Amino acid sequence: MLAVENLHLNYGGVLALKGVTLEVRRGEIVTLIGSNGAGKTSTLNTISGVNKSAKGKITFLGKEIQGLPAHRIARMGIIQAPEGRQVFAGMTVLENLEIGAMGRKTNNSDRRLEEVWSLFPKLQERRNQVAGTLSGGEQQMLAIGRAMMAAPELLMMDEPSLGLAPLIVEQIFKIIVELRNSGRTILLVEQNAWMALQVSDRGYVLENGRCPLWGKADELIADETVKKIYLGGH
């Protein structure tokens, strides 16, 4: 579905990505792990068109997309749930979701809304509540729900567990698995490498803008270097 080849990115005068190569196949969860500053978010933002690559090739559903503006890439079906949630704080839950549906002109927005309500019953209870008054976990659910309203072919999620309590983190990861089981394709950036690899099919390790290690998720979990640096003793 997605192929990234030899991706380079200059960011603020610094070479943030130095030849990242990865692929995502339909129906997979693929996770990117790495320390802060390794290039994970920069990779997502370059795929989605927020950042403009200096070099490399990005192919989505057989079409080259590098250099296209972000709104055109979104309309092709690459939808990003950003780091830090970034909900529209002064608008209601329902209004946030309706904005998600506007990002991509597709039919069946009512059906997608019902899907969001089924995944996130708390959001349905709070549909008329202002988003800025939600808890952090509820705002993360809203950010995912808003992305789902755009009917993504590829859903990119950036640090969905960041700053959340452990029980909420477990709930978020269960939802990620539910999305994959319903046929969604997910590219996941996540600080909690252990939980991310547990639910993923494959993974890539980013270090200083490069991708020196990749493989099936269970192989990365068993890798001694990955265990020592990223898995916190698991």
Do 163 and 221 lie in a common domain? yes
Do 73 and 157 lie in a common domain? yes
Per-residue model confidence as pLDDT tens digits over 21-66 = 999 999 999 999 999 889 999 999 999 999 998 899 999 999 999 9
| Average pLDDT value for the chain | 93
Residue 171 phi/psi, 5-degree rounding, is -65, -40
Do 96 and 148 lie in a common domain? yes
Do 129 and 161 lie in a common domain? no
Sign of the CA dihedral running 93, 97, 103, 105:
negative
Do 230 and 215 lie in a common domain? yes
Domain termination residue (choose one: 107, 131, 152): 152
In a domain, 11, yes or no: no
pLDDT at 20 over 90: yes
What percentage of the chain has pLDDT greater than the value 90?
Answer: 85
Average pLDDT over residues 1-12: 93
Do 169 and 141 lie in a common domain? no
In a domain, 102, yes or no: yes
pLDDT for position 180: 94
Per-residue model confidence as pLDDT tens digits over 107-166 = 678 889 999 999 999 999 999 999 999 999 999 999 999 999 999 999 999 999 988 999
Q: Could you tell me the residue range of the domain that residue 232 belongs to? A: 23-51+67-77+153-234
* Strand-by-strand arrangement of the 154-158 sheet: 78-81, 154-158, 185-189, 29-33, 202-207, 210-216
pLDDT for position 103: 64
Do 160 and 221 lie in a common domain? yes
pTM above 0.85, yes or no: yes
C-alpha 103/C-alpha 49 separation (Å) is 14
C-alpha 155/C-alpha 143 separation (Å) is 12
pLDDT for position 105: 62
Number of domains in the chain: 2
Do 148 and 172 lie in a common domain? no
pLDDT for position 82: 87
Beta pairing class for 185-189 and 154-158: parallel
